[in-house]
């Protein structure tokens, strides 16, 4: 995947989060993650975390709170990698993180009853 394609998928992910199209957002990042899923790379793990955040939001929309909590924990596991990743896409990842955290504060995942 070229850098411009990578960037295109990141921007698409942000737009889809903004539009609350969480399933589509997850699919956009999977285009980056899936071919590289077996790499032991912090950047790929961070992307996996963002995918899980989108999945968690989609599960909330479907009323599957318990499942959402479980998936959200995976996002939280990988979130600290944002401070370790050395990538030309770092500013995009930081922007994604801001969007994810805004949605989380709106939905308040941790306060939802299981």
Q: For the segment 44-60, what is each residue's pLDDT rounded down to a tens digit? A: 999 999 999 999 999 99
75-99 confidence digits (pLDDT tens): 999 999 999 999 999 999 999 999 9
CB atoms within 10 A of CB 29: 23
Section 37-44 average pLDDT: 96
pTM for the model stands at 0.93
Q: Is the CA virtual torsion 45, 47, 49, 52 positive or negative?
A: negative
Of residues 23, 13, 17, 15, the one with CA closest to residue 64: 23
The predicted pLDDT at position 109 comes to: 64
Domains of the chain: 3-108 (1.10.3450)
């Amino acid at each position: 995947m070229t850098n411009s394609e990578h960037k295109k998928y990141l921007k698409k992910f942000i737009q889809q989060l903004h539009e609350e199209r969480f399933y589509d957002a997850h699919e956009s990042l999977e285009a980056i993650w899936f071919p590289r899923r077996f790499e032991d790379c912090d950047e790929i793990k961070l992307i996996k975390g963002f995918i899980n955040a989108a999945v968690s939001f989609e599960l909330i929309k479907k009323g599957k709170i318990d499942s959402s909590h479980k998936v959200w924990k995976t996002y939280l596991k990988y979130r600290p990698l944002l401070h370790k990743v050395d990538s030309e896409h770092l500013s995009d990842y930081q922007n994604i993180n801001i969007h994810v955290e805004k949605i989380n504060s709106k939905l308040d995942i941790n306060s939802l009853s299981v």
